[in-house]
Amino acid sequence: QVQLQQWGAGLLKPSETLSLTCAVYVGSFSGYYWSWIRQPPGKGLEWIGEINHSGSTNYNPSLKSRVTISVDTSKNQFSLKLSSVTAADTAVYYCARVNYDSSGYVSWWFDPWGQGTLVTVSS
């Protein structure tokens, strides 16, 4: 069963760059897109972006200017960098696999998810 384990710095100062990595254990890495999603404290979920094993990316337009998602296929890992962070970027960040089914009823869904990493931006 696929498992995602993520890690990265949990406390940043304003203007610094957030950096998180997610490792995929068991199962196929290629053939999927891999996403980052965040959730500010007490608020809802926000999709940040995705990448596939070839390095093709899609980003949330609201974050695109500050986000870079990269992939390391040799380690079955993908990473998130978010530059120039502010207090508004304080959130729990999750990685997740994007699943896609086009057999009849086209659908996408996120499963499984990583355990989440709380990133706090504070001076």
Positions that interact with other proteins (CB under 8 A) = 35, 37, 44-47, 58-62, 94, 99, 101, 105-116
- Token duo for residue 44: 């809802």
Return phi, psi of residue 101, to 5°.
-135, 120
Q: What is the amino acid identity at position 18?
A: L
Least distance from other proteins to the Cβ atom of residue 109, Å: 4
Least separation in angstroms between residue 7's CB and other proteins is 14
Q: Prior bond to 112 cis, omega within 30?
A: yes
Closer Cβ to other proteins, 72 or 101, answer by number: 101
Measure the CA–CA gap between 112 and 30, rounded to whole angstroms. 15
Nearer to other proteins, 16 or 40 (CB): 40
Q: Which residues pair with 36 in a beta bridge?
A: 49, 95
State the nearest-atom distance from the C-beta of 57 to other proteins, in Å: 10
Q: 8 vs 116, which CB is nearer to other proteins?
A: 116
Instruction: Output the smallest distance, CB 96 to other proteins, in A.
Output: 8
Question: Listing from the earlier edge strand, what are the strands of the sheet with 3-8?
Answer: 3-8, 18-25, 77-82, 67-72
Residue number with CB closer to other proteins (28 or 62) = 62
